[in-house]
Chains A and B, each alone.
Chain A
Amino acid sequence: EDKVVQSPLSLVVHEGDTVTLNCSYEVTNFRSLLWYKQEKKAPTFLFMLTSSGIEKKSGRLSSILDKKELFSILNITATQTGDSAVYLCAVGTGGGADGLTFGKGTHLIIQP
């Protein structure tokens, strides 16, 4: 059975801090790893990673994948209160019509 495990489950930091969110996975036929941000409604896409060691960056967010050790991290620097959300890690498998397997998410709270 495919598994995606995120840690920590919950994290509270102060504005301006840097946070690192972790995602490890055990799946058959790995294809890609995706990060989403979920506020009140549906998840919004952040990154898709398919190759090891190549950092993807978008503003203060960055992510990297290690396919040998089967994990990914999502970094957020200079955090702002608007970064408060649940961050979901999901793994896509195969190349066909398979849906994503999601982790339970990390609930991030940024205090002013």
Chain B
Amino acid sequence: GAVVSQHPSWVICKSGTSVKIECRSLDFQATTMFWYRQFPKQSLMLMATSNEGSKATYEQGVEKDKFLINHASLTLSTLTVTSAHPEDSSFYICSARPQIADNEQFFGPGTRLTVL
């Protein structure tokens, strides 16, 4: 149980284009999903908290107009990197917290974004 999927697994795009990443909880409902970013040899850094039916909460230093988050249902959150630039190249990982859980989070397999 507690499986989280992400799509796509990896994406290469040109500078200036937008990329959408999907995060789905497959066998549970998640009122809250989280988006993290991980640069090479670094730890995960929380970008934003996505709440179903309301606006996302962004961490300090994360531009909300650049990283658009939509949590349309209890099983789906999307992250859109708008006007991507090479410095946005990173490993983006989502996690989902089951409704009945406290802090326990289950992570998706991640999406490797490379912006040329």
Determine the residue in chain A with the shortest Cβ distance to B51: A97
Contact status A99-B46, CB under 8 Å: yes
A-contact bits for B69-112, CB 8 A (1 contact / 0 none): 00000000000000000000000010100000011111111100
Q: Bound state CA distance, A76 and B52, in angstroms? A: 38
Of residues 72 through 112 on chain A, the ones whose CB sits less than 8 Å from some CB of chain B are: 88, 90, 92, 95, 97-105
Q: With an 8 A cutoff between CB atoms, is B12 at the interface?
A: no
**Interface-located stretch among A11-19, A42-50, A54-62, A63-71:** A42-50
Contact status B103-A88, CB under 8 Å: no
A4 CB, min distance to chain B CBs, angstroms: 9
B-contact bits for A19-39, CB 8 A (1 contact / 0 none): 000000000000110101000
Option from B43, B49, B106, B109 in Cβ contact (under 8 Å) with A99: B49
Contact status A44-B107, CB under 8 Å: yes
Contact status A99-B104, CB under 8 Å: no
| Residues of B with C-beta under 8 A to A92 | 102-103, 105
Q: A42-B107, A42-B109, A45-B104 are in contact. Are A97 and B43 (CB under 8 A)?
A: no
Determine the residue in chain B with the shortest Cβ distance to A45: B106
| Residues of A with C-beta under 8 A to B93 | 42-43
Q: Bound state CA distance, A90 and B46, in angstroms? A: 11
Contact status B34-A42, CB under 8 Å: no
Q: Bound state CA distance, A45 and B108, in angstroms? A: 11
A46 CB, min distance to chain B CBs, angstroms: 11
Contact status A42-B110, CB under 8 Å: yes
| Residues of B with C-beta under 8 A to A41 | 109-110
Option from A31, A95, A100 in Cβ contact (under 8 Å) with B105: A100
Interface residues of B (CB under 8 A from A): 32, 34, 36, 42-46, 49, 51, 57, 59, 93, 95, 102-110
What would 21 A/B residue contacts be, using CB atoms closer than 8 Å?
A31-B103, A32-B103, A34-B103, A34-B104, A41-B109, A42-B93, A42-B110, A44-B107, A45-B106, A45-B107, A50-B102, A88-B43, A90-B44, A95-B102, A97-B32, A99-B49, A99-B95, A100-B44, A100-B95, A102-B43, A102-B46
